[in-house]
Amino acid sequence: MSYRQFINEIKEKGVGRCYLMTGCETYLVDKGWEHLMGTVVTAFPEMNYTQLEGEHLEAEPLSAACDTFPFGCEKRLVAVRDFRLLKAGKTEGDAEQGSSKDAQAFIDIIANLPDTTCLLFVSYGGVDKRRRIFNEIKKTGSVYEFDRVERDDLGTWIRNTLSRSGVKIASRELDTFINLSGYLDKSGSKTLYDMENLLSKLTGYVGEGGTVAMQHMEAVMPRNPEHDIFKLINACSEKKVAESLRVYGDLLLEGESSLGILALISRQIKNMMMTASLHEQRMDARSIAGKLKLHEYTVKLCLKYSATISKPVLQSAFNKCLDAELGIKSGKMGDRLAMELLLVSLFE
């Protein structure tokens, strides 16, 4: 269930007896924990809140914490972080991690929780859903898995975060910010904490009450080689020799190799040809992205730049890339000279 569902459940049904919050979106896990604590512990936190580390937790201290009566509150909150018996790869019979008898003791605690206690398990990352203790938590309470948010929800969250500093962002800039951030990349590991840091830098650069522009994002966003390659391709297609050489030089300064840059150029030209061909078959960007296993943002850039370059010119450019690679690898030409000659004549 999602973070929004968690908030709605608390609002509509009140606080339950047991919760498990897990998932790769650590920001939402922490926010859910924070919200539950703020709802349950309304007074005397030193008496009504207990936090236990789960790596070496024994049943007795957990039982004692759960059996303690609240003071000045309807319930007290007991939080267990990264409980060992919920982790994947740990067997309940592992002597170092706890025997089956040990697991049963914790299961009994969960099954017999008093109404005056809310027990929260927090697990960053994943849990083993085959465990008996997982099933008992699910039976007694609620399980929430907070994974990375979808694009629409991410956009809303970004707008709300910026608005707290009085900063506005238009739809085009918002779409670009999301794409450049890498948050939605399938193989990425960014969380909303990373996005929050980026937004903090962005608001500091834009200034309170300002509006986000493309140059603001270019100043604060981490360099994206793929985005720079499209800038390079665009400069070459418009015969802007000085700009193409400047972008190439910047990529070298960032640690990219000439052969690495050449490989990226070749790949994107190939992607441009394939996306253009599929677009002619009336496929939209999302469908093309799924078929070619590319990011939708990459597909949109391919379609944008391929629209101004004919298929024969793209094919010729791809062949020139292959010739330049052969020249470099065979030692017939130095990599920098080969790349500079390629960039000057790529789309001729």
Write the pLDDT tens digit of every residue in 258-292: 999 999 999 999 999 999 999 999 898 889 988 88
Instruction: Characterize the bridge pairing of strands 76-81 and 117-124.
Output: parallel
Q: pLDDT-based confidence at 213, cuts 50/70/90?
A: very high
Q: What is the 3-state secondary structure (H, E, C) of 235-266?
A: HHHCCCHHHHHHHHHHHHHCCCCHHHHHHHHH
Neighbour count for residue 121 (Cβ, 10 Å): 25
What is the rounded distance in angstroms from the CA atom of residue 228 to the CA atom of residue 156? Answer: 27
Residue 1 pLDDT: 59
- Taking the C-alpha atoms of residue 280 and residue 288, their distance in angstroms, rounded to an integer, is 11
pLDDT of residue 314: 92
Q: Considering the entire predicted model, what is its pTM? A: 0.72
pLDDT given for residue 100 in this prediction: 62
Cα 345 from chain centroid (whole Å): 39
Nearest residue to 52 via CA among 77, 74, 35, 69? 77
* pLDDT at position 93 over 50: no
